[in-house]
Structure 1
């Protein structure tokens, strides 16, 4: 997929950044994501995974805020990763209506629940904190269209793996996108459950 098919705010931001052409990985996956495919994307650092997430989320949500419930959820490893991803989102959403919110363990959970309730379109969260907020009835996942894991290899060998697996049990039909530097056999279980018929894209 070329950048010409992106919504105008995205094209303008890419132009301001001097980015003219998609990277090889982005050429492979952007059109498939736009088409609604769930997939595992396995690629090294620097291949353009994070930018692909940002472009795909904003494109699929059409750059427009709708109601109060989030439509995209992105799992990250920790507070630092959440804030870094939020910072990378900002240049791309500044000319849209989209609201991006970070939920991580170090912040007061009651404040987070109230702030999410006020309305957001994209939630960037650590798995543990997202689950706590959900079980406090602090987030509505019924409108979720995209569930994404950035740098999913952080899950391996940690309790966060179980926290992530529990999330699909609470939502309906959704597009799942797993971005990682390496594919682990435990991900194969997801292919048999909530990521049935998903694609595996490697670079």
Structure 2
């Protein structure tokens, strides 16, 4: 698996979110009985659209949790007609409140994680950090921050400015140098371009619905 640790995986587009792709939650699978500590197991993981119930994707897996020190989950599926077949090692910790908690060892970074992700266009399941994934809520918050900054700049030019939804940029205030005014206007355009782009991406994801693992 060494080849997965370099190249495009660490340069993944930061605009991608967790909700754009597929997620494998190890402890949810254990709670649901899809993976059982102490035995070997094989089955199929299937994702469905949370809004329509339509099947989105499916992969085969084998889980061997007989001995914690040698435990793994083997994933096998096709991506763009190319077969993918690899093992993801598992490890355990003992929480203070008792019991055992299982973890994936990310096949790219070696990081201990509870979930693995596969964004659109990538053949591998790995940690969120590897793909630099955000959450939709983070995308929305980033958009809001950009637009709030823009609004403050608009208010600097015109105290009567109500919102950043106004189409017109306020005129140059009396006493402000043109260089300062032009720089402020450029910054307003820059912030609002970024803010609305993030907001459009966030809104575009809402009707589609996320993928739920069954």
User: Which structure features the higher share of helix residues?
Assistant: 1
Q: Same fold (TM over 0.5)?
A: no
User: Which structure features the higher share of strand residues?
Assistant: 2
TM (normalized to structure 2)?
0.22
TM (normalized to structure 1)?
0.23
